[in-house]
Structure 1
């Protein structure tokens, strides 16, 4: 039995179309940065990288010395919970720390903090978000023999606490442990805001993503005369941030928090006020009316899709987030994305990350640019009057 904390990083399953392949490569680069950050702390005995064959081929020879590959069996249907339990039991891990490959801003101090809590406990679960986790450490690892782990990481902390009896000790929420790389839109946010590790940053630089629309929308956070819409699964922390840290007025429509964790997106119960209106008037008029109220809009589209009974492919969702309607197969989503791209105001589409840590990062990036320009303005003497 390995009593020290061990990092169990899952990386794989992303690919199939050019837009998915590109994100898959970004996630592999992010995984390498996460491994370097964690193992450099000395808080982990080693790391296990759980991956598919395609990702294993890319990562082989690039892993740090204390990391080992654990490759999915070919031909088997992937189930996250069963795979995690299998890895924990086979490697005899007493204090496993599960993490996905999409936390590009998390640093060694937060990863070491998880290990430190587990090292001093005998029955505890630590996560970055109790209600929707991407990082979950727990002790004892053997508890997976008695629980059927879910096929997603979001519900894992609650299951371990409520059914396993482990004491919940969640990390304080920060932008660095909440920003999750789920879509190409999130990658564009990172390109605009900065902060990625060296491997991912090199990949982003090589792709040269177009961030002009993002920058245009984000700049309005610094404008006292502007009004900005943020809609979707907006949490209370983001509302407080936008109230305290932006100069603009903000219209917030918070809908369907916990939608995926409660499976409302699957059982048909999800309801969205914006979706009711969108269905009644159509995409073009919807964005025309938005332009009469705000100067920019950040929209989490997943509650809209669920309300409308849509189940677009991952490729279609990603292309919509990237504002590339030409490649979208679903006719309604193609028209919706085209209308968003052609709107009179900058419209940014995405998932839950966009309207959470995404808008926070974009606001901070806009303020850095604002302060830089203001300093240059004063240096040139234009403000001396």
Structure 2
């Protein structure tokens, strides 16, 4: 199905909320971002906006904005099968897929441009925000996803699988905050909060930021604006984000880049992640490592998921969110609680999160502070 003039319909997936306060705060932000996205997609000229929301209340709220609700899949959720079900049930010829938190900086004007580019693609082509870690995609022939559905447990490999296993021509949008900044962690949101293109619903949901998180984010922002200040980026650092920070700021930046692609390559699933930083934390202990780091830089932005992957059992979502918020008392995982305590008590500001804090959300922070 396509709309008048070849308009492309959009499909938005909204995941469930967790049970803890930290998870619920993140879920409220996702719901707000989904509301902004639904409104902006409609303004951009989508033929229709379909929403699959795990929480019925989220679905009802988005339907009130004009979205068409879809039935949700039974647990456990499998992205490829869920998307294939929508394509078949709705008879979609083309589609624009978005995760709820995938495009918080995508204005209606940008979405309209991307949709126009999608309509102009050859039949066997797709336009994605990131080939190696896809958060949103415009697929000219939606049915080419059907035979690939089982190979898509999440949306991240969508662009890569379409190209490598489906034979599609896949174009990636140029790296920028609007194309690369999605959010999965509290620190992502702290780095996005001041961007001028943030949607109004999400902006309201983030006012005010939790105190510890907001204080550390503000201190790191001051560092980026201070000539000759020093900052460390640790983890799966994006060269585009690092380059943008170097180009716009006068800050000395140390980069400790490790394990990019650990999910897509399967190294995380196979237990093959290696990390020099992680080994130093394990050898010396988190407090000693953080103190050593503080002798070298005045602040740090740290993708701690590489350390988590190295040290063994993956912490729960509740623990990861509480750690990034700096809520030490809410972190049940002993090792992660120790790391969180060291970060909160550090004499330099440190933000911890996932890949976004050293990739798209770093680009957003730099764009906000140094336009």
Report if the CA contact (8 A) 2:52-2:69 is conserved: yes
Cα distance, 1:85–1:218 mapped onto 2, change above 3 Å: same
Cα distance, 1:77–1:129 mapped onto 2, change above 3 Å: same
Separation in structure 2 between the aligned mates of residue 297 and residue 87 of structure 1, nearest angstrom = 42
SS, match of residue 227 in structure 2: coil
SS, match of residue 251 in structure 1: strand
Separation in structure 2 between the aligned mates of residue 285 and residue 65 of structure 1, nearest angstrom = 51
Separation in structure 1 between the aligned mates of residue 300 and residue 61 of structure 2, nearest angstrom = 43
Q: Which moved more, 1:92-101 or 1:119-128?
A: 119-128
- In structure 2, which of residues 52, 64, 70 is the aligned counterpart of residue 50 of structure 1? 52
Report if the CA contact (8 A) 2:221-2:369 is conserved: yes
Report if the CA contact (8 A) 1:232-1:256 is conserved: yes
Separation in structure 1 between the aligned mates of residue 267 and residue 303 of structure 2, nearest angstrom = 16
- 1:300 maps to 303
Separation in structure 1 between the aligned mates of residue 61 and residue 364 of structure 2, nearest angstrom = 33
Report if the CA contact (8 A) 1:6-1:48 is conserved: yes
- In structure 2, which of residues 185, 194, 203 is the aligned counterpart of residue 201 of structure 1? 203
- In structure 2, which of residues 2, 23, 33 is the aligned counterpart of residue 30 of structure 1? 33
Instruction: Answer yes or no: is 1:223 the counterpart of 2:220.
Output: no
Separation in structure 2 between the aligned mates of residue 65 and residue 36 of structure 1, nearest angstrom = 7
- 2:125 maps to 124
Who wins on radius of gyration, i.e. which is larger? 1
- 1:335 maps to 338
Stretches of structure 2 lacking an aligned partner (at least 5 in a row) = none
**How far is 1:192 from its partner?**
4.4
Q: Which moved more, 1:141-150 or 1:89-98?
A: 141-150
Q: How does 1:175-194 map to 2 (within 5 A)?
A: 175-193=177-195
Q: How does 1:137-286 map to 2 (within 5 A)?
A: 137-148=138-149, 149-193=151-195, 195-205=197-207, 211-286=214-289
Report if the CA contact (8 A) 1:30-1:200 is conserved: yes
Q: How does 1:27-106 map to 2 (within 5 A)?
A: 27-42=30-45, 44-52=46-54, 54=55, 56-63=56-63, 66-73=66-73, 75-102=74-101, 103-106=103-106
Stretches of structure 1 lacking an aligned partner (at least 5 in a row) = 369-385
Separation in structure 1 between the aligned mates of residue 361 and residue 62 of structure 2, nearest angstrom = 29
Output the TM-score relative to the length of structure 2.
0.93
Report if the CA contact (8 A) 1:50-1:72 is conserved: yes
Cα distance, 1:101–1:33 mapped onto 2, change above 3 Å: same
**How far is 1:193 from its partner?**
4.3
- 2:350 maps to 347
**How far is 1:71 from its partner?**
2.6
**How far is 1:209 from its partner?**
5.2
Cα distance, 1:63–1:363 mapped onto 2, change above 3 Å: same
